[in-house]
Amino acid sequence: MGRTAGREQHAAAGLGHHAPDRGEYRQAAEERAAIARSLHTYRQGLGRLNSEQGVFEALAGLPPQQFDAVVLRYILRLSAQRIGWYMGLSEQTVNYHCRQGKQRIEQAVPTLLKKDSDAITGDGSETDTKD
């Protein structure tokens, strides 16, 4: 172990944290790569799908961070904490991107989302505004 690595581990131990070893870095890199592949595959697949309502087109048209946050949260079902880890963002920022992405999709396909909302609440109003 080199002097720098020894200092990092010693400093981390003094702060109550442990310094990640190469295996942990490798695992994190593999997890990030797997998530990135899933997002890339999903984005490519959207171009081949056809929807009368335009949902797929609206989703594919989102800015990259909103697309990633929406797909990871609502399609791949990752937590805001996990998405934040992957994207390098706070949970609050992930929630913001999810809200913004949902709003853009709602603007692009309002009739479809209104029907879904009506079925859930019976009056067209949203019952849960938190992500």
**pTM beyond cutoff 0.75:** no
- The per-residue pLDDT of the chain, averaged, comes to 76
Read off the pLDDT band of 115 (50, 70, 90): low
Q: What is the pLDDT of residue 99?
A: 96
Q: What is the pLDDT of residue 104?
A: 94
User: How far apart, in whole angstroms, are the C-alpha atoms of residue 98 and residue 67?
Assistant: 8
Q: Which residue has the tokens 């172990």?
A: 1
Greater confidence (54 vs 2) lies with: 54
Tokens of 35: 């998530």
pLDDT in tens, 2-16: 444 444 444 444 444
